[in-house]
Amino acid sequence: MTYVIAEPCVGTKDTACVAVCPVECIHPTKDEPDFEKEEMLYIDPETCIDCGACEPECPVEAIFEEDYVPDQWAKFTQINADWFQNR
């Protein structure tokens, strides 16, 4: 299982979640060239260890455990995975 960043992150890109992730699975970070062009952050499902440290740090409540992503944002599970597959 993994955590997923959903629609509330679009246009926000608050990086508090990045700072607390022990495995650095949330991208792009502010130092990466893609940061400015991306409209949201993404969690790498292959790297995420399901620790949950990121979830309470998100000021817009955009991070969910994979099994609890609200139905209206279910497509974001694949959107997060696809972002990393296309790297």
Per-residue pLDDT tens over the stretch 13-60? 999 999 999 999 999 999 999 999 999 999 999 999 999 999 999 999
Angle of CA points 70, 71, 75, to nearest 5°: 100
Q: CB–CB of 17/54 below 8 Å? A: yes
Q: Is the pLDDT of residue 87 over 90?
A: no
Number of domains in the chain: 1
Q: Is the pLDDT of residue 1 over 90?
A: no
Q: Which domain holds residue 8?
A: 3-85
pTM listed for this prediction = 0.95
Per DSSP (E only), the strands in 33-76 are 42-43, 63-65
Chain mean pLDDT for the chain: 96
Give residue 36's pLDDT: 96
Please give the Cα distance from 65 to 52 (Å, whole number): 8
Q: CATH code at 60?
A: 3.30.70.20
